[in-house]
A and B are shown apart, each in its own frame.
Chain A
């Protein structure tokens, strides 16, 4: 499978906030599905589609992301010629604002690649998919930009970008966080365009004094360029707010969803950490509908939950409907329901934390409760 495209991943999205869990890290580096992070899906999709050159635009709090991606070897992107390129903020004498990336560094990355197309992806969704259908659709429809959309069947929640199209499928309107949109088409930050067109757009924006860059900026070019959509009707979990993050995590407990996200033909790669196998001791009486990871030590009871690596569940603890990040320690006799707990948190003996389905409790990184 050879594809004439390079990838560009936008690790942040300033319109999205996931409670406290994206405070210490970029959206891309938010843990998901136990041992993975959101960016693993995008990176793996790119690699599985045959892309061998991927740039990651990281604006802020990217230490965690860089720890995760390393040299790119986990995705087979440690290459002499192509490979993985980190594009952190480019601070120079005129910009001086590290919270805004100077598009110049993106221009440099795109310019030095010889591929004809660029596939740009954000990190506010999780899916396991090939990008070839998107590129194929783009080649057939003759548009300047082809973007991915989904039909929103669930409860409408913001942030969301609603798309209107005409009968021919051309984008005619882009509505950001509209309170009651008529169209059920929601934009997904995944699009393809020609390398040369992207360079032209970026240089034009630079000349007009815009230094930031997002997928939305490209969607909004619909009146000067032809922007068309491809509708994705397979599993795609949007992660645009903390309630969605929670329901996407719970969706992983469904066999069909999980097998769609993790199939043998479409492996999702991640950073390898050599943790010992997960141990379930005889003291654990109930363990059902749980996704768990290496290094866990489960002595208590867990139901309907997702456990990252190295989570310790103490004797007699009751954990239900919760998402626990790496190395969380739940002491004896703790009760948790609808809680998201960030990395390295310690919950001390006997604590009870009960959240709600659409409003899970979030405990921030390194806290001791």
Chain B
């Protein structure tokens, strides 16, 4: 393999269990976001915009959708002759097979892959954050500090700091202490889950970590604290811009709404630093004769005939006349029938809501059948590939799971994809 200065490794194997039904079939990085994107478009586009041409994507949980989405990396200009995109699942060896035990172990298992490019630096990126960042600047900063590890940090409000991994730094930005979710934070610089390592140092640290039976083989819990304890050059690189962890239903909803409320901060329209996505070739979107639309992000193939307010509409979504959608996120291929009333909902891919389905935070006649602790702030989630039967009303904080089609077949019925296929054959 040709030598590469920097290799990026994207951790995309996690289940994202807090997103519940939305990640029942797909890994979190493949979850749709912001009308025309998937979460993984952000790190992939950042790589492309930073001039990084070799990207390994570590997959483990439900990789099918993610693999087919990434393909050969063409959509992100990452189909290169030397380098490009590599999907890296766990594999079988002579001495047996192991799953990726943790984030650090997944990189450990791919040491031969990284070695083959003889890089000076390796970037470790999470596949579940929404942010636009030039990694080349971070790597240059890493080099200028002579660091062994650089951790990107972002200032968070003090009251939120206890939810994050907090970096305590000295005046030279050297990390002196790393505290995971501290009760009484001494600092408000949170780790963004973006690391730049000098490869030789990381390689050594990974081998050491692997030989420690006590370790959970995790970057945040083991490798980085280990390097700090050893007095290695670990630095914090402060990032200034939009960054959001979309690990929970509420944070996913919030980040989507930021696209409408803070478009300038999210900055998706900057043509010098675009976010790329795989495009499934649909016609332009259509606003119908009697639709009422206000504060909406919308993309190819969608057709709106109803009333839509403060919502994110993905490709190929159809909203019939007489339906009302407010403060909601409709993922690709959802079909909203007449008389449906949605407020604060996330509708998963390929889901059909039959006429007069209602879901609002305080739905008076709504069933509590689907209330779920994964949902908060009145948000209701409809899982992917479902049909919600006519007239069903749900209270807020509900989550409809794919297996509800078996559990409560009178409310949730046959899979939408087969329904749609029949529609096309007619």
* Residues of A in contact with B (beta carbons under 8 Å apart): 33-36, 73-74, 253, 258, 261-262, 264-265, 267-270, 272, 274-282, 284, 287-295, 297, 306-308
Contacts and interface: CB of A to CB of B under 8 A. Distances in A.
Residue of A258, A269, A280, A290 most packed against chain B (CB within 10 A)? A280
Contacts of A276: 36, 268-269, 274-275
A279 B260 contact: yes
Interface string B267-285: 0110000111101011111
A328 B358 CA distance: 40
Contacts of B34: 277
B298 interface: yes
Nearest to B274: A274
14 contacts: A35-B284, A36-B284, A258-B286, A262-B283, A274-B276, A278-B285, A278-B299, A280-B294, A280-B296, A288-B289, A288-B290, A292-B285, A293-B284, A294-B36
Given A276-B268, A277-B35, A287-B293, A267 B281 contact: yes
A294 B299 contact: yes
Given A35-B300, A279-B297, A287 B287 contact: yes
Nearest to B280: A267
B263 interface: yes
A269 B259 CA distance: 27
Determine the main DSSP class of B at the interface with A: loop
Chain A CB within 10 Å, residue with most, of B34, B35, B277: B35
A264 B301 CA distance: 10
B287 A281 contact: no
Contact of B288 (A275, A279, A289, A292): A289
B283 A289 contact: no
Contacts, number: 103
B405 interface: no
A265 B288 contact: no
Given A264-B424, A274-B276, A294-B299, A280 B293 contact: yes
Minimum-distance CB pairs A-B, first 7: A34-B284, A277-B35, A276-B268, A262-B283, A277-B297, A272-B279, A293-B284
Interface in B30-78: 34-36, 74-75
Contacts of A267: 281-282
Contacts of A288: 287-291
B17 interface: no
Contact of B300 (A265, A282, A289, A294): A294
Contacts of A279: 260, 263, 296-297
Given A277-B299, A297-B269, 14 more contacts: A272-B279, A272-B281, A274-B277, A275-B269, A276-B275, A277-B35, A278-B285, A280-B295, A281-B295, A284-B293, A288-B289, A291-B284, A294-B299, A307-B284
Interface in B230-278: 259-260, 263, 268-269, 274-277
Choose among A278, A281, A288 the residue with the greatest number of B CB atoms under 10 Å from its CB. Answer: A278
A277 B298 contact: yes
A36 B260 CA distance: 26
A222 B250 CA distance: 70
A36 B36 CA distance: 18
Given A274-B274, A277-B35, A280-B294, A289 B299 contact: no
A272 B294 contact: no
Contacts of A274: 274-277, 279
Contacts of B277: 274
A292 B260 contact: no
A34 to B, nearest CB: 3
Nearest to B421: A264
Contacts of A306: 284
Given A276-B269, A277-B298, A294-B300, A268 B283 contact: yes
Interface string B393-426: 0000000000000000000000000000000100
Contacts of B281: 74, 267-270, 272
Contacts of A294: 36, 299-300
A368 to B, nearest CB: 20
Most A-side CB within 10 Å, residue of B75, B284, B293: B284
B288 A33 contact: no
A277 B294 contact: no
Contacts of A290: 286-287
A253 B291 CA distance: 14
A35 B302 CA distance: 13
A262 B282 contact: yes
Contacts of B269: 275-276, 295, 297
B293 A293 contact: no
B310 to A, nearest CB: 9
